Amino acid sequence: MKTSIKLFVLTSFYVLLNSNFLYAQAYKAPDTIYANDHQQVALFFPAPIRQAVTGAPYMVFTYNKDHPQYFGLLQAKEGAISNLFVIDQQGKVFSFVLKYREDLPHFYYFFTEEDAVGSEAPLKKNSVETAKAKSSPYLERLSEHFLRRAKGTLRRRENSGVVLQVKDIVFHNERFFVVMEINNSSGISYEPDQFGFYISTKKQGKRKSMQTLPLEILYAHSVPEKVLAGTTDRFVVVLPKITLPNNKEIMARLFEKQGARNIELKLFKRHINGSNKGK
């Protein structure tokens, strides 16, 4: 009798486990996630969460930073539409639209690797040093020249008093010299942790997701270790020759070390194809 009960319990547990697995596999993750301020919404990812940031303070996504887990909890107060970026420990990047809603359609969401909008392959500080070591004095002189002459601003994005700008893009000798600037008008020093360029292809369809691939960085000049409060630092990133069709764009992503002041800045066809000629 005891053996029969044990078999029944094990069989029931097996069926329940497989039913939940099949449901998760069949579940189609949406682009838009709804949340409110009196219920928790759980988001489950294929790997533990490494970093996450929302676009507005009234959208709050909490996750375990000390001991990374596969899920995070979302709550929101009524306000304008916002967004959420999540990067897991496998480098997969997830992007969602966030909306407030009094009656929630779901209390949990399961995501797979296929739901990611791209993969992270940022330029880390040791990669910057490697790029410098492999560069020639020729690239260093050119970078310094374009750094000094850059005027105006092509693109800018801000997050909590930290502004990332593209000051100039110069095409010279089959390379793009991108002059960047970090302006820190906040009261706290800013330490760049990871910085990289990515080329994105807009995928058509219901979800309209982005396929993102990292761009090789040929040389990096004067990338700051720290931008003090109230100061500005400029640097140059050298990229290979790029031609952008209408369905592609370039993203510059800057992540803060041990912080959430992360910035994503887009460059379009008109910026790349209309770049200045180097002299």
Please report, for the domain that includes residue 225, its CATH number. Answer: 2.60.40.1150
Residue 16 has pLDDT above 80, yes or no: no
**Alpha-carbon gap, residue 112 to 96, rounded angstroms:** 14
Mean pLDDT of 235-255: 87
Do 108 and 215 belong together in one domain?
no
Residue 68 has pLDDT above 90, yes or no: no
Q: Are 215 and 241 in contact (CB under 8 A)?
A: no
pLDDT higher than 80, residue 121: no
Q: List the CATH number of the domain containing 82.
A: 2.60.40.1550
For 252, how many CA atoms within 13 A lie in the half-sphere containing its CB?
Answer: 23
> Does position 228 have pLDDT exceeding 60, yes or no?
yes
Distance CA 238, CA 246 (A): 23
- Could you list the residue range(s) of the whole structural domain that residue 176 is in? 123-277
Residue 206 confidence (pLDDT):
44
> What is the pLDDT confidence band of residue 245, given thresholds at 50, 70 and 90?
confident
Q: What average pLDDT does the segment 133-140 reach?
A: 76
Residues 6+ apart with CB under 8 A from 13: none
- Please tell me the total count of domains within the chain: 2
Alpha carbon 94 to chain centroid distance?
8
Q: How far is CA 100 from CA 57, 106, 194, 211, in A?
A: 13, 13, 31, 28
Q: Looking at the predicted structure, is the pLDDT value of residue 160 above 70?
A: yes
Tell me, yes or no, whether 212 and 81 share the same domain: no
Distance (Å, whole) CA 50 – CA 63: 9
Tell me the per-residue pLDDT of 166-185, one tens digit each, with 9 for 90 and over: 999 999 999 999 999 999 99
Are both 138 and 114 inside the same structural domain? no
Residue 273 to residues 100, 136, 139, 213, 214, Cα–Cα distance (Å)? 39, 26, 21, 19, 19
Binning pLDDT at 50, 70 and 90, where does residue 255 land? confident
Q: Are residues 51 and 102 in the same domain?
A: yes
Using the predicted structure, report yes or no on whether residue 4 has a pLDDT greater than 60.
Answer: no
- Among 119, 150, 177, the domain boundary falls at 119
For residues 79 and 39, state if they share a domain: yes
- Please name the helix (run of DSSP H) or strand (run of DSSP E) that holds residue 5, with its range, or none: helix 2-26
Q: Is the pTM of this model over 0.85?
A: no
Same domain, 96 and 174: no
Final residue before a domain boundary, out of 94, 119, 144: 119
Q: Pick 260 or 77 by higher pLDDT.
A: 77
Q: Is residue 111 located within the same domain as residue 143?
A: no
> Confidence class of residue 36 from pLDDT cuts 50, 70 and 90?
very high
Q: Are 129 and 223 in contact (CB under 8 A)?
A: no
pLDDT at 81: 92
Confidence at residue 18, expressed as pLDDT on a 0 to 100 scale: 46
